[in-house]
Amino acid sequence: MVNCKGIALISFAILGLMIYSCDPLVNKFDDVEDAEMYTAKNIETPPNNIDTLIFMTWNIRFGVARLPWFGDCCGNKVIVEKSDVHQNLENIANFINEVRPDIIFMQEVDIESKRTAYIDEVQWLLDNTYFNYGCYASMWDAQFVPSDGLGRINTGNAILSRWKIEEAERIQLPLRGDQDALTEYFYLRRNLLKTKIAVPGINDFYALDIHMSAFSTDDTKQRQLDRVIEELETLDNTNCQFVIGGDFNLIPPGSDSTDFCDEDKCAGESFHGPNDDPMHKEGSYFTPEIDWLQVMYYNYSPAVPHPDYLSDQEHYFTHTPEWDGFWNRKLDYLFTNMSWITGTDSTYQDITVQNSLSDHVAVSAKLEVGNGK
Amino acid sequence: MANKNILRYIGILLILIGMNSALVSDEISANQSWSSGTAYLLPVKRYEIGIFQPLRYGLSETREISLHPIFAFVSPNLNLKLAHDKIGNLQFASDHGIIYPTILMNLISREGTGGIISPEFEIPHMISIYNGVILSKPLGNYHLITVKVGFNFAIKFGELDKRTTIDLPLVFPRLNVFYNSYGFRGGCDLKGKIFKKWYYLADIDIFYFPGADEDFAFEHKGLIQWNKSKKFQLCFGYKLSYCNYPFGSQWHLLPAFDIQFAKQLKTKK
């Protein structure tokens, strides 16, 4: 038989194991941490001499196209068939291969989620396009989400590039301030993905990918934008050149429509009535936020100039939450501290509706290389 | 609305109980009391139950039944352990079980919190049947080694969508038989006395589902048991799990504990 000392040792060993065993259900992330790097299966030699660069931003909605998904468009689907995800990714890859951006900012890319058959979409897209390098920063990494059958999820931002990504950081953005602690624990943790890319002809070039909160009802998006601007100012002040692209979940200043509660409401929902609680639908009421993007337009160069947008707003809309509806708001942007070539911006409304690739359309623009600031 | 919430919480509670009963379904002993997981049967008219372990009852000298009493309403289940003639100094028993998980799985297939399975799926009527053998051999006066192996198969009365899997440790390998239709399960337990009323248990369990993409799972448990009396014992320790899931393989290390009670009903003389 074992003596008392033995028992104590065994007990402490087991206790230690128990403490060690408490793996968090949800990854909470550091304020700043390395992003995950990817390399394509086959490397295509990128060009060394370039005059222009094409940038694209696209929220690909985790490769489920316009599926009536439960979480964002009054749908009832949760888990998608593997073959359907593959088909959607193939359509996305075909579109990218046709437009051929040099660097793409992607949002809502799944790498290990039950809802998309656990396909690593970053690797899949790298292997099925001409891009050579990629990096990924998760905004939602949970071993198990015990709600609506979601299960395991890992989704976030990704940047794909023809040239080597030298550095990649995941910068944590402020969490939503309007949630209880339990919901917040299992909820998304938005981030800014900051990369340094070895683009020929531009020294110290940074590409940043952003996806801000969609459903916050307080000043969360303002605080997230403040953190983004802080990062951009640091780059600007150190003579670095950058392009930032992404889904800001904010509409441009001066937009005609700022309240989409009626357009977005699901069956049985009611807003704006005296007894309605909440008064507005989460993610559909932009009136208090209408000027928040002003600072981006003021300090940096937008791919779609603000006067162009104001003169023909519908032409630049990039999103609709209706799974069978047409685009009715602009949420996706490209900004730089360099110079876009006038008239080279594209908002691919027709292509993406026709092929039903996502609930967001891609936006691209061409950048002059070598002129800098 | 309140009823819906209560149902959700019951669903979550049942999942937790299910996971913990898998963690601590065995006790540590080399005698007939606290003999779960061995080839020994409970004494006649003795019952044992734990917070996370099934109710076991000694029907006769050759028969013991067990079931999860709370689960019984939403996931009817029954196990029968039969004692057979000794082979040399090997204690020999067979283990036979049946479970009908459809009600429970449909209960947790729902919208909102507690939705473990997506509500877009309907779980068909289905049962799984397990048959296995258990061999136990004392090692000296204070230790007991047990080896077990069994075959599990499932009968389904409808299509079970593969997207309904619950990709969690302990749960996935136990439900995988419904997705693969059959599988094997084997394992080895070592239990014995450490000191006075303190016992140990170390075991391994292996799940194998031939032909499945997720064909293998391994579990190891280490427990310390405080055996206060024949009526009460306390277990704590850990469970190590390795499993091939639909997303790939993963290790998990989980805490394990249980409080167990027993009673000997009077027998006619």
pLDDT beyond 70 at A353: no
| pLDDT in the model for residue B89 | 86
Across chain B, mean pLDDT equals 88
Percent of chain A with pLDDT over 90: 79
- In this complex, the residue of A11, A118, A148 whose CB is nearest that of residue B118 is A148
| pLDDT in the model for residue A13 | 57
Q: What is the mean pLDDT of residues A43-72?
A: 93
Which residues in chain A are contacts of B166 at CB distance < 8 A?
151
| β-strand pairing of A346-347 with A36-39 | unpaired
CB contact under 8 A, B194 and A144: no
pLDDT (tens digit per residue) in A261-317 = 998 998 889 999 999 999 999 999 999 999 999 999 999 999 999 999 999 999 999
pTM of the model: 0.88
| d(CA A27, nearest CA chain B) in Å | 15
Which residues in chain A are contacts of B242 at CB distance < 8 A?
none
Query: Is residue B255 within 8 Å of A21, Cβ to Cβ?
Result: yes
pLDDT beyond 80 at A352: no
CB atoms under 10 Å from CB of A174, counted, come to 19
List chain A domain ranges.
32-368
φ, ψ dihedrals at B191, nearest 5°: -135, 155
Least reliable range by pLDDT among A140-149, A188-197, A225-234: A140-149
More confident residue, A154 or A354: A154
- Show which of residues 12-41 on chain A sit within 8 Å of chain B, judged by CB atoms: 14, 17-18, 20-23
More confident residue, A159 or B1: A159
Across chain A, mean pLDDT equals 91
User: Which segments of chain B have a pLDDT < 50?
Assistant: 1-4, 6-7, 9-10, 13-14, 16-30
Interhelix angle B2-23/B171-180, nearest 10 degrees:
100
More confident residue, A70 or A241: A241
| pLDDT in the model for residue A71 | 84
Using the Cβ of A8 and the Cβ atoms of chain B, whether some distance falls under 8 Å is answered with no
Q: What is the mean pLDDT of residues A201-213?
A: 95
Which residues in chain B are contacts of A141 at CB distance < 8 A?
none
Which residues in chain B are contacts of A144 at CB distance < 8 A?
167-168
| pLDDT in the model for residue A242 | 97
Q: Which fold has domain A32-368?
A: Deoxyribonuclease I; Chain A (3.60.10)
ipTM: 0.86
Query: Is residue A96 within 8 Å of A129, Cβ to Cβ?
Result: yes
Closest CA to B107 of B53, B158, B172, B166: B166
More confident residue, B197 or A230: A230
Domains (range + CATH), chain B? 2-264 (2.40.160.40)
